[in-house]
Amino acid sequence: MNRTRRIAPIASMLAASLLLAACSSGGASSSQTTGTLKFVTDKGAWKPQFQSLNSVSQKDIKVSLNTTGYSDENQYQAFVKQSFRTKQSPGLFTWSTGDSLKQLVDQKLVADTSAIWKQEIANGNVSKDLEKYYTFGGKQYCVPMNIAYWVMYYNKKIFDKYDIKTPTTWAELMSDAAKLKKNGVTPFYQTTTLFTFPWFETLVAGTDPALYQGLSTGKVKYTDPRIVAIMNVWLDQEKKGWFNNAGTTTDPAQMLKQGDMAMINFGTFFGASLEGVGMKPGSDYGYFVIPAVNSSLTKTPVPVETGPMCVASSSKQKDLGLAYSKWWMESNAQSAWGAARGDVPFNPKATVKDASLKTLGTTVASGKYELVPRYFEAAPTPILNVALEEFGAFAANPGDPKPFLSKIQTAADTYWASKK
């Protein structure tokens, strides 16, 4: 009995020390450049495609991804932010460009990738135009995970049924919308959560790209009469019934397939979702670059989104992550990614499943178009969060836009004051 009593404290202490030991970590050393790389991403649905590249990466550089996908963006961001405070910061993770990436760079949390960029630009694996989204203080951080142009997807069968040709001017697009509505088809998609910004982005950038840029730098107020006038154009379209019921939570790809609406303003990665619901490019759906609202613009603005793939500077797998990042930019990796996801490749040497996407990449790079950063990356995060809610509230209850814009401007005033 006495023996038991003596053993008990020792056993308890052992158990506690085991528990603490379990909380600490092993893991690869920082200099390791081959092996299994821990990769976390907010694109949980893309995990199979990321994992499918392992056979290629293993063959090329002897690195495989162990992917953890999150489907909840907020949970993901909280996890990544907290991980920087531990030794468990990820060897590779996806993030957003713009203000979100700047926050990480300012805190020196992501690894410098300047050498990789220099080499890959010299090798012709990436356009120098893309570099600016990854450059802070003259240095580059992270590499492009993908690139997407925001265009208008449409249900081809509906367009064919009502003899609608893809519009080349804003007036044609408006006329098409009116024609669709007259025939009982809702022209455009809208939602009240997350993707609430595309129509605002299309209207503002398409009316005046400088005005659009001014919003992201704080030089233009959301309450500016020009922005109010643009919002009133949106309001007028809402009143005409040109958008689907805002409260629906049905998958937008399924909605386009069902003909709940004829068009949806989305990034070029949306093609994979449409194929996922059984739509075929060319026969079931197509897409076009949205013409500029202002016909006097010499170049049509095209919102572009590029999502980064980053390496945490404190990660134990930093070298492994950088090795994978370098490989990711090369044509072998991008061709494999193009085959797996069907995205527009940022590497001009890469092949892609849907040839028209590659054409789109070269088309928008021509002189007729002006690439503008997507609103999601262009707006500083604290302003973006309020704007996403307010655009959603406006879509749900279309009315005088001033109260919605005032609320966004209040967030903008607070943000820009904090930067002075």
Partner 1 sequence: MTVKKDHYRWAARSFVAPGVLLVAVVLYLPLLWTVFLSFTSYDGLSSPKWIGAANYLQMFQDPDFLNSMSNTLLWVVGTLVVPVGLGLVLALLTFNLKGGVWLRLPFLIPYGISGIGVGLIWSFVLQNNGALDQALHFFGVVDNPRWLLDAPLNTVVMIVAAAWQGVGVNALLFSIGLQSIPKEPLEAARLDGARGFRLFGSILWPMLRPLTTVVIGLSIVASLKTFDIVLGMTKGGPGRVSETLALTMYKDTFVNSQYGLGSAIAVFLTVVTLLAAILYLREQLSKKNEF
Give contact residues for partner 1 (rule: CB under 8 A). 2, 4-5, 8-9, 11-13, 15-16, 19, 74-75, 77-78, 81-82, 84, 103-104, 107, 109, 192-193, 245-250, 381-382, 385, 389-390, 392-393, 395-397
The type of residue at 241 is G
Q: Which is nearer to partner 1, 79 or 369 (CB)?
A: 79
Q: 9 vs 138, which CB is nearer to partner 1?
A: 9
Name which of 124 and 247 has its Cβ closer to partner 1.
247
Least Cβ distance, residue 76 to partner 1 (angstroms): 10
Q: How far is the CB of 137 from partner 1 (least distance, A)?
A: 17
Least distance in angstroms from the C-beta of 18 to partner 1: 11
* Residue nearer to partner 1 on the CB measure, 5 or 419: 5
Minimum distance from residue 408 beta carbon to partner 1 (Å): 11
CB of 400 vs partner 1, minimal distance in Å: 14
Could you identify the residue written with the tokens 């590779």?
92
Beta carbon of residue 211, minimum distance to partner 1 (angstroms, whole number)? 24
CA–CA separation, 320 and 166 (whole Å)? 46
- Minimal distance in Å, beta carbon 84 to partner 1? 7
Cα→Cα distances 341→26, 50, 420, Å: 33, 9, 42
- For the CB of residue 172, give the shortest distance to partner 1 in the complex, in Å: 29
- Give whichever of 18 and 171 is closer to partner 1, judged by the CB atom: 18
| Beta carbons within 10 angstroms of residue 228's beta carbon | 15
Nearby residues of 418 by Cβ (< 8 Å), 6 or more positions away: none
Q: How far is the CB of 225 from partner 1 (least distance, A)?
A: 23
User: Minimum distance from CB of 99 to partner 1 (Å)?
Assistant: 11
Nearer to partner 1 (CB atom), residue 234 or residue 327: 234
Residue among 259, 283, 258, 281 nearest 270 (CA): 281
3-state DSSP of the chain? CHHHHHHHHHHHHHHHHHHHHHHCCCCCCCCCCCEEEEEEECCHHHHHHHHHCHHHHHHHHCEEEEEEECCCHHHHHHHHHHHCCCCCCCCEEECCCCHHHHHHHHCCCECECHHHHHHHHHCCCCCHHHHHHHEECCEEECEEEEEEEEEEEEEHHHHHHCCCCCCCCHHHHHHHHHHHHHCCCCCECCCCCCCCCHHHHHHHHHHCHHHHHHHHHCCCCCCCHHHHHHHHHHHHHHHCCCECCCCCCCCHHHHHHHCCCCEEEEECCHHHHHHHCCCCECCCEEEECCCCCCCCCCCEEEEEEEEEEECECCCCCHHHHHHHHHHHCCHHHHHHHHHHHCCECCCCCCCCCCHHHHHHHHHHCCCCEEEEECHHHHCCHHHHHHHHHHHHHHHHCCCCCHHHHHHHHHHHHHHHHHCC
Report, in Å, the least distance between residue 30 CB and partner 1: 22
User: CB under 8 Å to 160, separation ≥6 — which residues?
Assistant: none
The span from the CA of 364 to the CA of 121, in Å, is 19
Q: 13 or 115: whose CB is closer to partner 1?
A: 13
Q: Which is nearer to partner 1, 25 or 250 (CB)?
A: 250
Nearer to partner 1, 9 or 225 (CB): 9
Residue 12 vs 175, nearer CB to partner 1: 12
Nearer to partner 1 by C-beta: 371 or 396?
Answer: 396
